[in-house]
Structure 1
Amino acid sequence: MITFSELIDELKSNINYNRDVLYAISKNPNLLYKKITELASFTGSRHQVAVQLHFPDPNKIKDIDSYGAENISVVIDKFRRKFAVPRENIRRKAIESLGNNIQTQDAYMYEGKEGLRIIKENGRIEILPGSIHLWCKVDQNVKNYVDWLMQNIYSPNTGGIST
């Protein structure tokens, strides 16, 4: 199974390979968005996941160097409703990996669904049984934590993906 770190490294490699094209179309945000969505989709499809890049600040679409470094979603199984491990284990690992200066909250707890939100100083991480949404910069601590999630929440042994 691929780790999050490997997935992001592959995405960044695809972005770097297409850097000239991205710069050439950078004056047209719609074309740029279409191309980066295509690259993210291609990368994810190779591993049976959906990778999405988000641009909550529309001006960030022109910041090609930030692609793959913030505001990323990975959808493994959008129909999963329950975590394979207790939420408390996910919370504990978040504090261990990301530090004591985070807050953890239950989120999306309706219609039999589970979810967690981790609030950091500079963003948040939303963890659902079938997806993870990073609304923050992806530093090494975040990568390590999401690698753990991929291995323990989303792996084939827990009902997740196989590659």
Structure 2
Amino acid sequence: MSVHNTSVLNDTGILQLEGASVVIVYTEWNEFIINELLAGSDRILAKHNITSVVKIQVPGAVEIPFAIKQYWEETKGTSKQPSSFIAFGCVIRGGTPHFDYVCKAITEGVTQLNLTLPVPTIFGVLTVNNVEQAEERLGGIHGHKGEEAALAALKMMSFQRQLVSGKL
């Protein structure tokens, strides 16, 4: 019996997104989990003909918002400026409060980016108690969060294009 949320597991509301580009910023930590998040997003982006995808690796989750902001600033006004960002990471609870600080920092950082940048930043950071919970989110009972993040990016880019064109 599947119990995962299917609200973003469909293509409803996704427009043809010619010229769209996505920048994915991901962490070095928990590489096998990150690789599967990336593979899931690659499948969805390819299915929707998004061929302009840039991937940037950073040391850890706390560094993701900085990298996204810097990429945006450095590409402002150029053809390299993306239509959306996706943040991928996996923070696994350990025996110290470090987990709580990292989760709070990345959540607040991505939220701030969504309030300041004119393009969406999708939160694809897994915050889990153990590796088993991460695996459940890589095609297990909780869906595939890499695929879902890519779908969210596509839907938000579609939303933005509809808003700009006056079709909303």
Q: Do the structures match in fold with TM over 0.5?
A: no
| Higher RCO structure, 1 or 2 (CA under 8 Å, sep 6+) | 2
Query: What's the TM-score once normalised by structure 1's chain length?
Result: 0.32
